Structure 1
Amino acid sequence: MTESVNGLPPHGLSTRDGVGPSCVGLPAGSWPTITDFLIERFPAIPREVWLQRMQDGLVVDEFGSAVTAGRAYRGHMRLYYYRALDDEPRIPFNEAVLYQDEHLVVADKPHFLPVTPSGPYLQETLLVRLKNRLGLDGLIPIHRIDRETAGLVLFSVKPAERDAYQALFRQRSVSKHYEAIAPWRPGMVFPVSRKSRIVEDTPFFRQLEVPGAPNSETHIELLQTRGDWARYALRPVTGKKHQLRVHMNALGIPILNDRMYPPVAVTPDDDFSQPLQLLAQSIAFTDPLTGQARRFQSRFSLTF
């Protein structure tokens, strides 16, 4: 299992090198000590690592009290701790800050870079890079895009203001435009609107279309053709995970260099020379805090 990152650090543990503490809930159980539970819950992390974290004061309960190696187990409580990665993959591409004020940061994310810490990525994430670069420990993403996708990501400078921006997404008051490179099918007629029901597939990180009431919608237009390939404009009405990739694949025009759609038995490793040709190109909305009209454009482009 992976360790999750909590967006709001507890009392006693601040941001460390741009990374906030992780959180794990303690369920009801009969483990002799908290250490025994952690070893069972995270089998990939050796006992020695947990003991060192505790010795360094880097594991606390939800009240800010330090957890020691022999502390008796008690359920229905949260623990906070710092993750550590010995061999974190380096993402050899750079982000850019396109806009910054007292409320908002707009970043241009390169392909392959995760937005937030997860799995094998901590420092090599857009959020942590920006925290370290800008000195903004409270920075928090307003929305996310896939690790494989390049383009615009919005961040709230003050966590308390995040919900005002997220409300725009919930109310579908944000205009988002993407571009994609995918096969050209002469028999297809554009523009087209794809509506379908998307659910979690197996393994969990993939998504799947199934019969039922639609919970996703994407508008797709043809922009340019070149041989067997074409450039498409994609406008998501909803924001389901992997929605654009699932819809393009379902139409028989999977996005160039997509490693998961159509599904494969084993997801290939990253190939930095073949990025997914999907770009979060522009975003527009009325700022809920200032009332100003905002429109941002990515500086990245797709090639085919």
Structure 2
Amino acid sequence: MKAPLPIRDGLNPSRIRLPLDAEPIRAIDFVEYLISTQRHRNPLDDAQALKERFDANLVVNHYGVPYAADDMVNPDDDIWFYRMPAAEWPVPYEIHVIFEDDDILVIDKPPYLASMPRGRHITETALVKMRVRTGNNDLTPAHRLDRLTSGVLVMVKKPELRGAYQTLFARREASKTYEAIAEYIPGLLDNGPAIWESRIEKERGIVQAFVVEGPINARTELVSVTPVDDAEQRVLEDMHGPLPRQARYVLAPSTGKTHQLRIHMRDFAAPILGDPLYPVLHAVDDEDYTTPMHLIARTLTFVDPQTHEERTFVSTRPTGSL
């Protein structure tokens, strides 16, 4: 369904449907309830801001017809409106454009920037920032990168092309390599290529994912391990404090489970430098933008569904210094 309100400031309008078992409710009361139950609410989103939505005809049904404040919303009716994002700490890293043509925009995403709005991260997201920067509200990510992971991210520029590119990634038809910085563990490749396998599950609402018993659903190839040189070691220690010798791990996952590389590094080598979840879960309030997690989606290769040509995109973001 096409939204009856346009994208504004890079953000889609919200759509809520009154449940079938609910009682009819005034439109203004329904929107007030939706705002009051937001997990991350902007304190400026008060009674006056609510009234202004209705005065400006910015609360509508699925046909785009505005609701008056006292109009009744009935069970199974849709209501569309704009949420007011809460304040967010600005991410102090730049987004670099790797490639652009008529169909796609490929960016080098920095750490701490979510791919698209979710939870407490709304405006500090790659999608919103690039929509505002380019003026193209049709931009949509073809895939996602974890918020703390940097590197190559593909965005689709036209609505009619989203399905082709998103299906490409959903079917795992793109190949990726990642680079991680972690403590140097010698001997991991002494017996040839290393394949790390496990079963990883993640429950909604729980920050960490877990390794559980059962059929394998997560596979990662360790491609190489190279100790960093003295200059890069000093850069890392300036950022994180004294460290044992660090190394660059090149990883090639063949599956894409949540936090797969972070868990496999923890279990089969060493935790990724700067990882706030594995092995120790840190509080959200402890987040420090000056000590990022050192994991980068370095290369991405796929056959373009439009041109049918093989394309490879490479992040030039330094793994160690960012």
Same-fold call, TM > 0.5? Answer: yes
Q: Tell me if the contact between 1:34 and 1:74 (Cα under 8 Å) persists in the aligned partners.
A: no
Deviation at 1:203, TM superposition (A): 4.1
Structure 2: gaps (5+ residues): 229-243
| DSSP 3-state at the match of 2:50 | helix
Q: State whether structure 2 residue 109 is matched by structure 1 residue 109.
A: yes
Give deviations 1:211-265, integer Å, cap 9, x for gaps: 1112222112333124532210111111222221122223251111011112426
Q: Tell me if the contact between 1:89 and 1:120 (Cα under 8 Å) persists in the aligned partners.
A: no
Among 12, 18, 23, the alignment partner of 1:30 is: 23
Q: State whether structure 2 residue 33 is matched by structure 1 residue 16.
A: no
Where is the helix percentage greater, Structure 1 or Structure 2?
2
Deviation at 1:179, TM superposition (A): 0.3
Q: Tell me if the contact between 1:9 and 1:21 (Cα under 8 Å) persists in the aligned partners.
A: no
Among 252, 266, 278, the alignment partner of 1:249 is: 266
Whole-Å Cα distance in 2 between the matches of residues 51 and 204 of structure 1?
Answer: 36
Change beyond 3 A, Cα 1:173–1:60: same
Deviation at 1:267, TM superposition (A): 3.8
Whole-Å Cα distance in 2 between the matches of residues 58 and 23 of structure 1?
Answer: 12
Q: Which residue is equivalent to 1:217?
A: 219
Matches within 5 A, 1:88-103: 88-103=88-103
Larger mean CA deviation between 143-152 and 226-235 belongs to: 226-235
Change beyond 3 A, Cα 1:254–1:273: same
Matches within 5 A, 1:42-57: 42=35, 43-44=37-38, 45=41, 48=47, 49-57=49-57
Deviation at 1:53, TM superposition (A): 2.1
Change beyond 3 A, Cα 1:159–1:72: same
Identical columns (%): 34
| DSSP 3-state at the match of 1:97 | strand
Matches within 5 A, 1:104-183: 104-183=104-183
Whole-Å Cα distance in 1 between the matches of residues 215 and 177 of structure 2?
Answer: 25
Deviation at 1:204, TM superposition (A): 2.6
Whole-Å Cα distance in 2 between the matches of residues 287 and 197 of structure 1?
Answer: 31
Q: Tell me if the contact between 1:198 and 1:209 (Cα under 8 Å) persists in the aligned partners.
A: yes
Change beyond 3 A, Cα 1:88–1:9: farther
Change beyond 3 A, Cα 1:254–1:25: farther
What letter is aligned with 2:194?
V
| DSSP 3-state at the match of 1:59 | coil
Q: Tell me if the contact between 1:105 and 1:155 (Cα under 8 Å) persists in the aligned partners.
A: yes
| Aligned residue pair count | 296
Q: Tell me if the contact between 2:24 and 2:75 (Cα under 8 Å) persists in the aligned partners.
A: no
What letter is aligned with 2:26?
T
Give deviations 1:255-283, integer Å, cap 9, x for gaps: 11011112426345321110110001110
Whole-Å Cα distance in 1 between the matches of residues 210 and 189 of structure 2?
Answer: 24
What letter is aligned with 2:130?
L
Q: State whether structure 2 residue 221 is matched by structure 1 residue 228.
A: no
RMSD: 2.3
Whole-Å Cα distance in 2 between the matches of residues 256 and 83 of structure 1?
Answer: 36
Among 269, 290, 293, the alignment partner of 2:286 is: 269
Deviation at 1:95, TM superposition (A): 0.4
Deviation at 1:297, TM superposition (A): 0.6
Whole-Å Cα distance in 2 between the matches of residues 203 and 119 of structure 1?
Answer: 11
Q: Tell me if the contact between 2:90 and 2:124 (Cα under 8 Å) persists in the aligned partners.
A: yes
Structure 1: gaps (5+ residues): 1-7
What letter is aligned with 2:208?
R
What letter is aligned with 1:26?
L
Whole-Å Cα distance in 2 between the matches of residues 289 and 200 of structure 1?
Answer: 34
Q: Tell me if the contact between 2:199 and 2:216 (Cα under 8 Å) persists in the aligned partners.
A: yes
Whole-Å Cα distance in 1 between the matches of residues 199 and 18 of structure 2?
Answer: 35
Q: TM-score, normalising length from structure 1? A: 0.88
What letter is aligned with 2:246?
W
